[in-house]
Amino acid sequence: MHDRIWAPWRAQYIHDSSARGPSEDSCFLCRAVEESDDRANLLVHRADHAIVVLNRYPYNNGHLLVAPRVHRGRLDELSGPDLTAPIETIRGLIRILDRMLRPQGYNIGLNLGKSAGAGLPGHLHWHIVPRWDGDTNFMPVLGDAKVIVESLYAFYDRLAEELGQDSLSYS
């Protein structure tokens, strides 16, 4: 007998990946900015020069993507607030995630280029992954599976409420 973990929401990832690889005209970040249904696009924060999107296929609860609004794939293509606003946004999000989730640490990173692991190499974005002591347990080690404790839309609603009460001020 084989143990199985049922995670049907992951099927969308497989369908999305096989139906279309990343291309300049299929940028989900640009699409989220252009469309008006932020919740459906998991776009939880819009600012003049930065956006925050929940990662649709998270590594941990609270996994966020922070991106400049402009579609650029290299750091040297950004300047001024297009470069600084995402970092300032990350700083404000850490304050909010600390309050909401109480993680013991974070992985924060930017995959620059496809060979560095960028799934969307044309639009820079930073990952914020909250981490807890012991969050690497038997599930990912033995079962090659990660347990996410809250649905994306439940977390979206909680984060949107927190962002409504906290301006992500940069001072």
Beta-carbon contacts of 75 under 8 Å, excluding residues fewer than 6 positions away, are 83, 110, 112, 124
Beta-carbon contacts of 41 under 8 Å, excluding residues fewer than 6 positions away, are 28, 31, 32, 35, 53
Cβ atoms of 100 and 158 within 8 Å: the answer is yes
One-letter amino acid at 141 equals V
Q: Which of 45, 63, 123, 125 is catalytic?
A: 125
Q: Is 125 in the active site?
A: yes
Number of helices followed by number of strands (H, E) in the chain: 5, 5
User: Which residues carry out catalysis?
Assistant: 125
